Amino acid sequence: MRIRIPLAAAAAGLTLAVTATACGGSDSSDTPSAATGIAGPGTGTGKTITVWYMEGDLTDDTVTGINTAFEKATGAKVKVEIQQWDGINTKLSTTLAQDNPPDVIDMGNSNVPLFAASGGLVDITAYKQELSAGQTWLDGLAGPATIGGKLYGAPLFAGNRAVVYNKKIWSAAGVTAPPKSYEEFTAALDKIKAKNKAPDFSAFYLPAKDWHQPLQFLWDAGGQIATQSDGKWAGALESPEAIKGLQDFKDFQNAYSVPASQDTDNLTPNSAALFASGKAASILTTSVGPILKANPALKDELGTFPLPGKSGKAQPVFLGGSDLVIPAKSKNLGLALAYLKAAASPEVQKQFVVGVDGWTPVSTELIDQTAGSISPLQQGFAQAAKISMSTPAAPGWSTIEGDKSLSQFFADIATGRKTPRDAAEDFDAHLDRVLNAAP
Amino acid sequence: MKNKTTRRAALNTVAIAFCALWLFPVYWMVNTAFKPYGDILTTTPRFLPFPLSLDNFRSAIGKPLFGTYLWNSLIVTGVAVVVSLLIAVLAATAVTRFRFAGRRAVLIGILVVQMIPGPALLIPLFLSLKSLGMLNTLVGLCLTYVGFVLPFAIWTLRGFMVGIPVELEEAAMVDGASRATVIRRILLPLITPGIIATSVFAFITAWNDYVYAYVLMKDQSKYTLPVWLGTFSTSTGTDYGGLIAGSALFSAPVIIFFMIIQRRLVAGMTAGAVKG
Amino acid sequence: MSMVHAKHRTVPSVPPDSSAPRKVRRGRRPSALPYALLVPALLVLALVVGYPLVRLGVISTQGYGLRALFTGRPESVGAANYQELWLNPALVSTLVRTLVFAGSLAAGTLLIGLAVAHLMAAVGPRMRTAVTLSLISAWAMPNVASTLVWQWLFQPTYGVVNWLLTAVGIGDYQQHSWFSDPNEAFAVIWLLVVWQAVPFVALTLYAGISQIPREYYEAAACDGANALQRLRVITFPCLRPILLLVGILSVIWDFNVFNQIWLLTGGGPGDATTTIGIWSFQRAFAAQDYGQGAAIAIASVLLLMTMTGYYVRRLIRAGEAL
- List pLDDT tens digits, range A170-219: 999 999 999 999 999 999 999 999 999 998 899 999 999 999 999 999 99
A touches which chains (3+ CB pairs under 8 A)?
B, C
Average the pLDDT over each of A351-365, A383-397, C75-89 and give the range with the smallest value. A383-397
Q: Which domains does chain C have, with CATH numbers?
A: 91-320 (1.10.3720.10)
Residue A162 has pLDDT above 80, yes or no: yes
The domain of A35 spans 19-158+321-378
> What pLDDT, in 10s, does the model give residues B61-81?
888 889 999 999 999 999 999
Is residue C84 within 8 A of residue C63, CB to CB? The reply is no
Distance between terminal CA atoms of chain B? Answer: 34
Residues A260 and A283 in one domain: yes
The answer to whether residues A126 and A177 belong to one domain is no
CB contact under 8 A, C5 and B111: no
For B:40-69, CB contacts with C below 8 A are 40-45
Q: How many CB pairs under 8 A join A and B?
A: 66
Say yes or no to pLDDT of B250 above 70: yes
Tell whether A225 is covered by a domain.
yes
Question: A77 pLDDT exceeds 90?
Answer: yes
| Cβ proximity of C254 and C102 under 8 Å | yes
Residues A367 and A417 in one domain: no
Q: What's the pLDDT tens digit per position in A3-53?
A: 333 333 233 333 333 333 333 333 333 334 334 788 888 888 889 999 999
- Chain B CB contacts of A94 under 8 Å are 123, 126, 215
Helix (H) or strand (E) holding A48: strand A48-54
Q: Is the pLDDT of residue A285 over 90?
A: yes
ipTM of this complex prediction, to 2 decimal places: 0.85
One domain for residues A271 and A414:
yes
Contact residues, chain A, for C268 at CB < 8 Å? 404, 408, 411
CB A164 within 8 Å of CB A123: no
Residue A383 lies in a domain: no
Q: How far is B172 from chain C (nearest CA, A)?
A: 15
With a cut of 90, say whether residue C61 has pLDDT above it: yes
Question: Strands A317-318 and A388-389, how do they pair?
Answer: parallel
Q: Taking all residues of chain C, what is their mean pLDDT, rounded to a whole number?
A: 84
Q: Which CATH class is domain B64-231?
A: mainly alpha
Same domain as A282, residue A175? yes
Query: Whole-angstrom Cα distance, residue A126 to residue A18?
Result: 13
A106: CATH:
3.40.190.10
Q: From the list C13, C38, C277, which residue is nearest B155 (CB)? A: C13
In this structure, which long-range contacts are made by residues A271-276, counting pairs with CB atoms below 8 Å and at least 24 apart in sequence? A271/A205, A271/A207, A271/A210, A271/B237, A272/B236, A272/B237, A273/B41, A273/B237, A274/A202, A274/A205, A274/B41, A275/A164, A275/A166, A275/A205
Q: A145 with A110, same domain?
A: yes
User: What residue segments make up the domains of chain B, in order of their start?
Assistant: 2-55, 64-231
More confident residue, B161 or B26: B26
Inter-chain CB proximity A84 and B233 less than 8 Å: yes
Query: Do A1 and A148 touch, CB atoms closer than 8 A?
Result: yes
Contact call for A260 and C71, based on CB within 8 A: no
With contacts defined as CB-CB under 8 Å, which chain B residues touch C119?
A: 11, 14-15, 18
Mean pLDDT over A301-310 rounds to 94
Q: Which residues sit opposite C164 in a β-bridge? A: none
A397 assigned to some structural domain: no
| pLDDT mean over A255-269 | 88
B255 CA: distance to closest CA in chain A (Å): 27
Higher-confidence residue: B49 or C152?
Answer: C152
Last residue of a domain, one of A338, A363, A378: A378
Cα→Cα distances B25→B51, C17, C137, C192, Å: 21, 39, 10, 10
Nearest to A270 among B123, B130, B237 (CB): B237
Mean pLDDT within B90-118 = 77
Asked whether residue C42 carries a pLDDT value surpassing 60, the answer given is yes
Contact A268 B233 (CB under 8 A): yes
- Contacts with C, A 277-296, CB within 8 Å: none
* Cα angle for residues A439, A102, B207 (degrees, 5° grid): 90
The total domain count for chain A is 2
Is residue A122, in this structure, part of any structural domain at all?
yes
| Each residue's pLDDT tens digit, C194-224 | 999 999 899 889 888 888 888 888 888 888 8
